[in-house]
Structure 1
Amino acid sequence: MEVELKLLLAPEHNEQVLQHPLLGEPARVQQLTARYFDTPDLHLMRHGAGLRVRRVDGAWIQTMKAGGSVQSGLHSRNEWEGQVDRSWPRLGKLRKLIGDDRQWLTVLDATNLKERLEPLFLVDVQRHVWDVEIDGNRIEVALDVGHIERQSHRAPVNEIELELKDGDPAGLYAFALQLLEDIPLRISNINKAQRGYMLVRESGHAPFRAQALDLDADASLSDALPAVLGNCLEHIQRNEVAVIEGDDQETLHQMRVGVRRLRSAIKLFKDIAPCPPALLEDVSWLGTELGAARDWDVLLSSTLTRIDATPGGQHSMLELLSLAQQTAQAKRREAAQALLSQRYTRLMLTLGSWMLQAAPLLNGSAAQFSRHTLQHLHKSLLKRAARMNDSDAASAHRTRIAAKRGRYALEFFHSLYRAKGAHEYLKTLAAAQDELGQHNDLVVADRLLQELAQDQPQAAGVIQFARGYLIAQQATQPADLAAIRNRLHALRLPHVKR
């Protein structure tokens, strides 16, 4: 299993790497040219595998990487590598390397795979390599500078790879944090093969949604903590580039949801694995940065569209929408800058390190822990629901947050519970959360419109009209708190699988 951490940096900082005191002189400098192979229908990619043949010091090296995971930038993948006598794959040799791993042998046994393989893209980099021993860990450090090429399209490569040769994976984070003290870095959650496939498919960065988490029935807490937190970090980081480079509201929304899930997960484990206060503060900071941008997106795309009348005709409403859009775009740029900051990189590296170090210290069953936790959250939800009343907007908000925490907790551990009961519970909580969320959107909208009126006094008239319209709508179309309360009180926790 290959374990490595990938870090992006700007070309102007390459010299700082080459001169860094932690590294010294490179052990070797290589020009590496690799061709990646797949079928026209991308058979290998669809099964989570990448196959390349690379020229290294005059020899052809065939490599297949497959499966594995990425958690907070830490790439863990199966790797099979060996020398071949040509620039084209030798599937027979690859099968011998794979041995008796039936999953990946089956992938290679696809009909006419040998005949259908073709080179799809090329990766050409100059690699500087250092062999570092630090704190009991052996790490291969590589600076890759070059490009990925597909027909007439090129994508630049400028990254550091830290590959663990021997020792503790947390040591990769510790070493990266030392480099970060002197060099601006960003974590990379996609590898060169994935970037090459993006050129092949001519695809951008689609929104990445939370993936189902599959814990074994006998999973321990030491298994569950990195699985749950890693799932949240993947949700956050797989939307990162799209938020920085694009303008799709859904990618920002998904990244913010990922942060909310992470905060909920940290709270779930707080009694057995308390998160350091500095980390909690940085997670809160990230949520605030993304939340500010997301609130304006919701105002622009959802809340203001409820207004079907306006003083002064349609022109006035268009002015308000234009002002809201300008602010939303400015907030999104601020969110992107936060993701490009060293504070964000440090947060992700430190979270990954803490997660790996905290997990082995835990004892006990994940199923038992989840059952106790869900019971506690369920009781808290019912208390919040019982206190809801129309005269206290905060009471509905507290119930919505409690529903969200219960829903996230069951989503983390759902594989340990009977499917039907878990589905019904999640469905009910999601519905309550949505109904109460619409009410909260109007509360947030009023706050944002007041801010806009202060910044844009020339538009005070239409802004005040919009505020009045939404306040009236909130009064005439309130959430049915009694019905929500009754549905929640009738809800029963699902049963653990036997």
Structure 2
Amino acid sequence: MPRAELLRLGLLVGEVARVASPPGAFGLTRDQTATEALDLIVRSCGQRILEQVDPLLAGRDAATLHDMRVGLRRLRAAFALLRRPLGDDDKLSWVSTETRDLAAPLGRARDLDITLSTHADLLSGSPRRKLHARREAAYDEVVDVVTSDRWRDLARHLDILLRHLPDQVPVDPPLAEAAAVALDRRFRRVRDRGADLARSSASHGHRVRIEAKKLRYGTQFFDGLYAVPAPFADAVESLQGSLGEWRDAEMSRHLLASVGAPTPDVDRSALLQRAVTAHDDLVTLGRYWR
């Protein structure tokens, strides 16, 4: 497929010949710099996103949408993790914000997918038809986004940024140093923001989940430098997962109520207890990269 067509279809950043690594296997090494690592991670994520565009346009499949969202989240996490070690460049902030805004319709579609699949037993008649209609409208918006000039322009700007970033950042630190700083920051955020999880609101739990997700992605990105111990990986995944279940349950209750469908009870205490246990385990295990 011609490069121009690839650019039209999705978030291609750089040459497609740079084959994407599977998640968690980026092949980063200590002799690389932070910008070299960012380039490799972002292009790998971009390739994963690109691979989902054709299937998404053809089938509007929930699993395809989810894979695209994962690629976008990982891409944003890479910028969030390495932005500070590279000097908090305004261009890096812009890319993260623009990617977040373009990904928002995918999140709305995913929420509807989760509700329709998880609570099918509660849906029939008019409520079911209403949610399916909302899903179709949400996927229309997703298609508009991934075929838009704005989406294409992000790919172009991102490619240019990655090519010129080494010459523009104040300091391009060794990756081992930058990775440790990035993981330190995310670990502190998870530790401090999750300290009072047992009495937190759904919105606060969601913020802790986002930090845990970035920490988890960071451990995967930098696994070639600092092999993540299985107990640490399990703890951060459990923290993210339990808070994610809570968020999904609350979101589904809202969507079901909005169409007049029955709303299930959410076992908030059980989910929070899982999250608190995982958080405590994570803090006890500490920073294995130091």
Q: TM-score range by the shorter chain?
A: 0.7 to 0.9
Q: Which sections of structure 2, spanning at least 5 residues, go unmatched?
A: none
Q: 1:483 aligns with which of 265, 277, 280?
A: 277
Q: CA 1:240–1:269 in structure 2 vs 1: closer, same or farther (change >3 Å)?
A: same
Per-residue CA shift, 1:435-460, capped at 9, x if unaligned? Answer: 1111000122233335x43xxxxxx3
Distance 1:489 1:351 in 2: 35
2:45 and 2:74 in contact (8 A); partners too: yes
Match of 2:50?
Answer: 237
The reply on whether 1:375 has 2:184 as its aligned counterpart is yes
The reply on whether 1:349 has 2:162 as its aligned counterpart is no
Q: TM-score, normalised by structure 1?
A: 0.51
Q: Tell me, what secondary structure is at the counterpart of 1:415? A: coil
Task: Give the residue type in structure 2 aligned to 1:483.
Answer: T
The reply on whether 1:473 has 2:266 as its aligned counterpart is yes
Distance 1:486 1:268 in 2: 23
Task: Give the residue type in structure 2 aligned to 1:374.
Answer: L
Task: Give the residue type in structure 1 aligned to 2:68.
Answer: M
Q: Higher relative CO (CA 8 A, sep ≥ 6), structure 1 or 2?
A: 2
1:290 and 1:335 in contact (8 A); partners too: yes
Distance 1:210 1:351 in 2: 20
Q: 1:433 aligns with which of 224, 240, 245?
A: 240
Task: Give the residue type in structure 1 aligned to 2:135.
Answer: A
Q: Which sections of structure 1, spanning at least 5 residues, go unmatched?
A: 10-69, 78-188, 190-207, 311-315, 454-459
Distance 1:363 1:475 in 2: 45
Distance 1:332 1:209 in 2: 27
Distance 2:162 2:289 in 1: 29
Aligned positions of 1:19-418 closer than 5 A: 72-76=13-17, 210=23, 212-271=25-84, 272=86, 274-276=89-91, 278-302=94-118, 304-305=119-120, 317=124, 319-361=126-168, 362-390=171-199, 392-418=201-227
Q: CA 1:484–1:76 in structure 2 vs 1: closer, same or farther (change >3 Å)?
A: closer
Higher helix fraction (1 or 2):
2
Distance 1:474 1:389 in 2: 13
How far apart are 1:7 and its partner, in Å? 0.9
Per-residue CA shift, 1:217-257, capped at 9, x if unaligned? Answer: 32222321201221221222221211111232111001111
Q: CA 1:388–1:259 in structure 2 vs 1: closer, same or farther (change >3 Å)?
A: same
1:213 and 1:228 in contact (8 A); partners too: yes
Q: CA 1:363–1:400 in structure 2 vs 1: closer, same or farther (change >3 Å)?
A: same
The reply on whether 1:6 has 2:35 as its aligned counterpart is no
Q: Give the number of aligned pairs.
A: 280
Q: CA RMSD, aligned part only?
A: 2.9
1:218 and 1:365 in contact (8 A); partners too: yes
Higher strand fraction (1 or 2):
1
Q: CA 1:337–1:428 in structure 2 vs 1: closer, same or farther (change >3 Å)?
A: same
Q: CA 1:281–1:384 in structure 2 vs 1: closer, same or farther (change >3 Å)?
A: closer
1:222 and 1:360 in contact (8 A); partners too: no
Distance 2:140 2:58 in 1: 10
How far apart are 1:391 and its partner, in Å? 5.1
Q: Tell me, what secondary structure is at the counterpart of 1:473? A: coil
Q: CA 1:220–1:444 in structure 2 vs 1: closer, same or farther (change >3 Å)?
A: same
Distance 2:269 2:217 in 1: 31
Q: CA 1:478–1:434 in structure 2 vs 1: closer, same or farther (change >3 Å)?
A: closer
Aligned positions of 1:445-464 closer than 5 A: 445-450=252-257, 452-453=258-259, 460=260, 463=261
Task: Give the residue type in structure 1 aligned to 2:83.
Answer: K
Q: CA 1:335–1:356 in structure 2 vs 1: closer, same or farther (change >3 Å)?
A: same
How far apart are 1:73 and its partner, in Å? 5.0
Distance 1:233 1:244 in 2: 17
Aligned sequence identity (%): 24
How far apart are 1:351 and its partner, in Å? 0.9
2:82 and 2:178 in contact (8 A); partners too: no
Q: TM-score, normalised by structure 2?
A: 0.85
Q: CA 1:269–1:341 in structure 2 vs 1: closer, same or farther (change >3 Å)?
A: same
Distance 2:251 2:22 in 1: 24
